[in-house]
Chains A and B, each alone.
Chain A
Amino acid sequence: NAGVTQTPKFRVLKTGQSMTLLCAQDMNHEYMYWYRQDPGMGLRLIHYSVGEGTTAKGEVPDGYNVSRLKKQNFLLGLESAAPSQTSVYFCASSYSQTSGTTDTQYFGPGTRLTVL
C-alpha cells in the first residue's frame, strides 16, 4: 500500500513550456486535491475532484488544468508555465466510501517545480 505518490519529484521548466504532474492513490479514495505551497503562504488549493470524471476549481486555479479520468489518478497540467508557478505541489486524497473513514486528507511527498 503506497498511499499517495507523485511524479516527478523535481522539475525545472522554462517560461512557456508545458508539463503534467501525476498523482496516484491506492486507497480507493473518492476525493483528490492539488495544492501549492509557497513560503509564508501555507497550502492553497488549486483544483480538486470529488469523483472520477469530475473536477472543480479551488482557491488559485488560474494557469492550471486537471483531469480525473481514473479514480486512482489525478493529473495537474501547466499549459504555459510562468515563474509565478514556481512552487512545491502536493497532491492529497480523502474519503473512502467502503471504509467509511474520516475526511482526513492524506498527502503525497510533493513535486518541487522551478520555472525559469
Chain B
Amino acid sequence: GESVGLHLPTLSVQEGDNSIINCAYSNSASDYFIWYKQESGKGPQFIIDIRSNMDKRQGQRVTVLLNKTVKHLSLQIAATQPGDSAVYFCAESPGYRDDKIIFGKGTRLHILP
C-alpha cells in the first residue's frame, strides 16, 4: 500500500541556520503534496503545498522541492527561528480534489540557541 515516511524522526538545527526536512513517498500516482506544522498541543497547520506538475514552490521563508524521479519531497526553512520548533508532517494525495490525504509520521524540529 501507499506510505509516506520521513528519513529522520528528529532534527536539531542552530538558530539562524537553514533547516531541511525530508520525506519519501511511495505512490508514484500521487498528484498533490502538502507540508504541515504542528506545535505542541495544537492541530496541524498548513505551511505550503505543491502539485506534481511542479518541482519547486516558494513561500515566506519556506521552499518545497519535489523530485518525482526518486519520489522525494523536502521542506526547506530559511533562517530558522525558535518559533519554528514543531513537528512537521508531509502528506500526499492521490488526485486532484481527492477526498483522502495520507500523512507521514512526522519529524520533530528542535532549534538550538
Q: Which A positions have Cβ atoms within 8 angstroms of B?
A: 4, 31, 40-45, 48, 50, 56, 58, 90, 92, 95, 102-110
Q: How many A-B residue pairs have CB under 8 A?
A: 48
Q: Which residue of B46, B89, B99, B103 is within 8 Å of A48 (Cβ)? A: B99
B105 at the interface (CB under 8 A from A): yes
CB distance from A30 to the nearest CB of B (A): 9
Which residues of B approach A to under 8 Å, CB–CB? 32, 34, 36, 41-46, 49, 89, 93, 96-101, 103-106
- Taken together as a complex, chains A and B put the C-alpha atoms of A1 and B50 apart, in Å, by 26
CA–CA, A64 to B93, complex, Å?
Answer: 24
| Interface majority SS (helix, strand, loop, mixed), chain A | strand
The answer to whether residues A110 and B105 also contact, given A48-B99, A48-B100, A50-B99 and a CB cut-off of 8 A, is no
Question: Closest CB of chain B to A111's CB: distance in Å?
Answer: 10
A-B pairs, top 8 by smallest CB distance, nearest first, are A107-B43, A42-B105, A43-B103, A107-B44, A104-B46, A42-B103, A109-B43, A110-B43
Contacts of A44 in B (CB 8 A): 103
- Contact A106/B46 with A40-B105, A42-B89 known, Cβ cut-off 8 Å: yes
Q: A102-B49, A103-B32 are in contact. Are A43 and B44 (CB under 8 A)?
A: yes
